[in-house]
Amino acid sequence: MTNMPADQWREYDEATKDNARKWIESIIGGYYRKCRLYNLDLAAERLHAAADESHASRYSDVPWGVVDRILEDSRATYEDCTEIQFIKRFPYIWPDSTEWESKTIPVSDLAQECSNRWHALNGERADGDGLPSRASAADMTVEQLADWYVELNDPNTIFSVTPRWDDEDLD
In DSSP notation, 110-153 reads HHHHHHHHHHHHH---TT---S-TT--GGGS-HHHHHHHHHHHT
Using the predicted structure, report yes or no on whether residue 127 has a pLDDT greater than 50.
no
State mean pLDDT over 167-171.
Answer: 47
0.75 exceeded by pTM: no
> According to the model, what pLDDT value does residue 86 have?
92
Please, are residues 42 and 35 in contact by the beta-carbon 8 Å criterion?
no
Using the predicted structure, report yes or no on whether residue 101 has a pLDDT greater than 90.
no
> According to the model, what pLDDT value does residue 128 have?
43
Pairwise CA distance, residues 147 & 153, whole Å: 10
Using the predicted structure, report yes or no on whether residue 39 has a pLDDT greater than 50.
yes
47: nearest Cα among 17, 9, 26, 75: 17
State mean pLDDT over 72-91.
Answer: 84
Q: List the chain domain ranges.
A: 6-73, 83-164
